[in-house]
Amino acid sequence: MIKPLRIGIIGGGVNSAIGASHISAIRMDGKYKIAQCLFSRSEQQNQLSHQKYQIPWSGHCDTLETWLDENIGNFDLLAVLTPSTEHSSHIKEIISRGISFITEKPVGCCISEIAEIESSLRTQDQVVARFVHNYSGYPMFREMVLRLSSGRIGKIHSVRVQMPSDGFAREKITGKPQIWRQSDPEVPMIMLDLGTHMHHLVTMLVGKSLSRVKARMHCLVNKLEVIDNVEIWEERSDGISITYWMSKAHLGPKNGLRIAVYGEDGSLIWHQMDPDHLIEVDINSNRTLVNRGSISAAASSRDRFKPGHPTGFIEAFANFYSDLADDFHRQSNKCGKSTWICPIEDAFEGIHFLHAAASSHQNGQWVEI
């Protein structure tokens, strides 16, 4: 029997947006044991988070550096769930101690931070570094990947991916976002929040290619004067054109993630709001609604209950964490990688892509990647 991985956590306390989701996903399949955690710099928030998550309290450290030094032998890997703007500095501290890690997106906020992380990793080749890409944990998205790789819809010519939401459109009701989301770094925060996921999903669907990008960005509704609506056009050397639309300015969708891939012989469409169905369109434009009960074993291998009981976001998140555990063990035993876990270099490439898009908006020109 494979021993559960000891996972430590920094950030992600009860006052964070995503912490509880990570805790639930980590616990779902029994592949991890939650070790020491530093949920907050505030001792009160840290202790409260331990209580709410029902994790034994082992004391508080005022700095990450002290906490890492005191607990370096207590975990197999660390989950970095701190604010995006702190990821780079925290990751470098972790790498310097030879600790493996997984980081929430984005891995860094600009290409200079990415370069520093890459440099740090080159000095610690025993470190296993991964990034969160939980949306690709949905069984129907995985079925989409597998059908495309088998040539199901013929030569692909277009991809349309969108992720609209209403976060800033309801600002007068919900209030301002976290402080670190109230200003834009070199790459606008909305792109670091949403664009990182979108670029990863597209890469899983159609692979990589040289390309050029052009982007248009707006501040449509928020009072903070940060970018809340982005459109990106990508033209690839393999002939595939890709359109990205991400927004926090549109009332209606909460998380309208939708992906459509068009080929010469058909198309495939998946919408997160209907997670257990995949639309397949044939050469005559007939639409078939594919349900989770009819997909391949490779796509449904993480199912926890029979079709007819929809797969949710936390379950997809848990699929990702289970695959991550398998990947970690496989890497440790030098027996190859998990099919569904991508290398940290993919996250680096995503930031380079978004940086190019931001540059395109600023100069009004296509930017080669």
CATH of residue 241's domain is 3.30.360.10
The answer as to whether 336 is a domain residue is no
For 11: left if phi > 0, alpha if psi spans -120 to 50, otherwise beta; the answer is left
For 266: left if phi > 0, alpha if psi spans -120 to 50, otherwise beta; the answer is left
123 and 75 within one domain: yes
123 and 57 within one domain: yes
180 and 221 within one domain: yes
Burial 343-368 (b: 16+ CB within 10 A, else e): ebebbbbbbebbbbbbebbeeeeebe
Tokens (6 digits) for 24: 């639930």
Domain-terminating residue out of 87, 111, 131 = 131
Q: Which of 1-5, 58-62, 147-151, 299-303 has the lowest mean pLDDT?
A: 1-5
* pTM flag (> 0.85): yes
Residue 262, CB-side half-sphere exposure with 13 Å CA sphere: 11
| Interval 223-238 mean pLDDT | 97
Q: Is the pLDDT assigned to residue 334 strictly greater than 80?
A: no
**188-211 pLDDT, tens digit each:** 999 999 999 999 999 999 999 999
CA distances from 181 to 36, 257, 324 (A): 28, 21, 28
195 and 102 within one domain: no
Which three-class secondary structure state does DSSP give residue 359? helix
Q: 121 and 259 in contact (C-beta within 8 Å)?
A: no
Length of the chain: 369
Q: Is the pLDDT assigned to residue 317 strictly greater than 90?
A: yes
* Residue for token pair 């277009």: 158
Mean pLDDT of the chain: 95
Rounded to whole angstroms, the Cα distance separating 349 from 106 reads 11
Rounded to whole angstroms, the Cα distance separating 221 from 172 reads 10
The percentage of residues in the chain with a pLDDT greater than 70, rounded to a whole number, is: 99
DSSP per-residue codes, 292-333: GGGS-HHHHTT-SS-TTS---HHHHHHHHHHHHHHHHHHHHT
Q: Is the pLDDT assigned to residue 280 strictly greater than 70?
A: yes
> Which pLDDT score is estimated for 332?
73
Residue 327, CB-side half-sphere exposure with 13 Å CA sphere: 22
225 phi/psi in degrees, rounded to 5: 65, 35
Q: 262 and 158 in contact (C-beta within 8 Å)?
A: yes
- Residue-range definition of the domain harbouring residue 258: 137-308+344-368
> Which pLDDT score is estimated for 345?
96
Domain count, the chain: 2
49 CB contacts (<8 Å, ≥6 apart)? 12, 13, 14, 15, 19, 37, 39, 40, 55
Q: 180 and 87 in contact (C-beta within 8 Å)?
A: no
211 and 266 within one domain: yes
> Which pLDDT score is estimated for 1?
66
Rounded to whole angstroms, the Cα distance separating 115 from 296 reads 39
Q: Which has the higher per-residue pLDDT, 92 or 171? A: 92
145 and 87 within one domain: no
245 and 212 within one domain: yes
